[in-house]
Amino acid sequence: MRFKTASSPHTTPVSSVNVIMRKVLMAMIPGTAATAYFFGWGVLINICLACVVAISSETLMLYLRKRPMKPYLSDNSALLTACLLAMALPQLAPWWLTVIAVSSAIILGKHLYGGLGFNPFNPAMVGYVIVIISFPKEMTQWVPPAVAGYSQLGFLETLQVIFAGSIPAGMSWDSITMATPLDTMKTQLGLELSINDIHQHKVYGPMFSSVSGVGWEWINGLFLAGGLWLAYKRIIDWRIPAGLLGMLFLLSNSFALYDYSSFTPPTFQLFSGGIMLAAFFIATDPVTASTTIRGRWIFGAGIGFFIFVIRTWGSYPDGIAFAVLLMNMTAPLLDYYTMPRTFGHHWSEFPGHHKKEPEE
């Protein structure tokens, strides 16, 4: 929406969807660059492929639904979904995996519910959950971070792996892919090793840094910076990430204090996997998040709670997508029960409030 104002003292508020989406995309650049630095060409190839698939699925659905092309295609929302999803997929994911993830995100997650603004679930997370449930093996094809000791594939080799599924001569899947720190931590903790043992381990030790995993602290730090800029610009509401990170910190800190050898410290929890990306870019999706102030605190804290529970006791190494979808389901209820009172109206007029009537 663009509100044109007639006379000079006013500035034109620019709050259209495409500007918001563009700023969110811009804020993702530092974190994305760090990811590409540590995890190689696969990141950029995934993003390009995801964007192409997103735009074509969007076009196809707009055509089938007989909606105007230009306003919907230029709102950048499909591109944002594609980029978020591409960041979540493993770098050496085969091309068809990205195609299935992105097209189901746009078609099933967004357009079948009525398009942008009507989708109850975050489309990117719907796409991610569909592929992680369907293709658990392919979803493990993460590459080792680009630091001393690990070899990485060149651009052409990466293209070949993604599009032809052929591994360069003399290499095996085990030599070009590696479990993520979160995954390793979970597996090794399951084998009764203590966190200290895992850090000292001669095979798995080098992938951990003093903060979290090698490379991951930079990626999460830069997403955090981008997210703070978005919050400062008032494009996202700070309460959702604050609730999410606060709850995750609270839980992980309590458990780590209780038993530091089998529960990872809060720094590891906060700077591993896609936490900052989830807190600032995924959970804050204006369509699928709660919209009231108290609702947003609860919404964020709920996601943080489920992430911790799934990471610690679940069967998947990370639980961001499931946590976001679970809380997406509760958003309408949260909005209903946390509706603020409008000035001039009595509490009793609001459905969610059961305050006792004052005795008359």
Partner 1 sequence: MSDVNYNEISRSGLWTNNVALVQLLGLCPLLAVTGTVINGLGLGIATLITLVASNIIVSLIRNWVRPEVRVPVFVMIIASVVTTIELTMNAWFYELYKVLGIFIPLIVTNCSILARAEAYASKNKLLPSAMDGLMMGLGFAGVLVALGAMREAIGRGTLLADAHLMFGDIATNWTIVLVEDYSGLLLAILPPGAFIGLGLIIALKNVIDRKLEKRQPKIVAPAGSEATS
The 3-state DSSP class for residue 285 equals coil
Question: Whole-number minimum distance, CB 136 to partner 1, in Å?
Answer: 8
* Binds partner 1 (CB under 8 A): choice among 133, 147, 156, 329: 133
Nearest approach in angstroms of CB 99 to partner 1 is: 13
> What is the footprint of partner 1 within residues 282-301 (CB under 8 A)?
none
For 299, residues 6+ apart whose C-beta sits below 8 A from its C-beta are 240, 243, 283, 289, 290, 327, 330, 331, 334
Task: Output the smallest distance, CB 94 to partner 1, in A.
Answer: 10
Amino acid at position 190, single letter: G
Q: Which among 11-19, 85-93, 130-138, 237-245 is the span making contact with partner 1, rule CB under 8 A?
A: 130-138
Between 17 and 112, CB nearer to partner 1: 112
Q: Which of residues 141-180 bind partner 1 (CB under 8 A)?
A: none
Residue selected from 5, 15, 74, 134 as contacting partner 1 according to rule CB under 8 A:
134
To partner 1, the closest distance from the beta carbon of 312 in angstroms equals 24
299 Rama sector, left if φ>0, alpha if ψ -120 to 50, beta otherwise: alpha
Q: Which of 328, 236, 293 is nearest to 21 (CA)?
A: 236
Cβ at position 116, least distance to partner 1 in Å: 20
Contact predicate 300/247, CB 8 Å:
yes
Q: Which is nearer to partner 1, 13 or 136 (CB)?
A: 136
Residue 108 lies near partner 1 (rule: CB under 8 A): yes
316: three-class secondary structure by DSSP = coil
Of 67-75, 126-134, 268-276, 339-347, the window that binds partner 1 (rule: CB under 8 A) is 126-134
Q: Indicate the residue among 5 and 134 with the shorter CB distance to partner 1.
A: 134
Kindly state the smallest distance separating residue 329's Cβ from partner 1, in Å: 14
- Pick from 353, 84, 32: nearest CA to 223: 32
Q: Interface with partner 1 includes 135 (CB under 8 A)?
A: yes
Give Dmax (Cα) for the chain: 86
Q: How far is residue 137 from each of residues 38, 126, 183, 186, 270, measured CA to CA in Å?
A: 22, 18, 13, 17, 26
Select the span of 72-80, 134-142, 217-225, 232-240 touching partner 1 (CB under 8 A): 134-142
When the beta carbons of 94 and 265 are compared against partner 1, the nearer one is: 94
Which residue lies nearer to partner 1 by CB, 130 or 236? Answer: 130
How far is C-alpha 80 from the chain's CA centre? 11
The whole-angstrom distance between residue 322's C-alpha and the CA centroid of its chain comes to 11
Query: What are the CA-CA distances from residue 279 to residues 164, 216, 273, 301 (Å)?
Result: 35, 15, 11, 10
Of 75-83, 128-136, 274-282, 311-319, the window that binds partner 1 (rule: CB under 8 A) is 128-136
Minimum Å gap between C-beta 321 and partner 1 is 13
- Single-letter residue type at 152: Q
Q: Which C-beta is closer to partner 1: that of 139 or that of 235? A: 139
For residue 14, report the phi and psi dihedrals to the nearest 5 degrees: -105, 100
Total residues in contact with partner 1, by rule CB under 8 A: 8
Q: Which stretch binds partner 1 (CB under 8 A): 66-74, 131-139, 244-252, 267-275?
A: 131-139
Q: How far is the CB of 134 from partner 1 (least distance, A)?
A: 4
Instruction: Enumerate residues 6+ apart whose C-beta is below 8 A from 232.
Output: none
Q: Are 195 and 262 in contact (CB under 8 A)?
A: yes
Question: Rounded to the nearest whole angstrom, what is the least distance from the CB of residue 128 to partner 1 in the complex?
Answer: 12
In degrees and rounded to multiples of 5, residue 114 shows phi and psi of 115, 10
- Residues in touch with partner 1 (CB under 8 A): 100, 108, 112, 130, 133-136
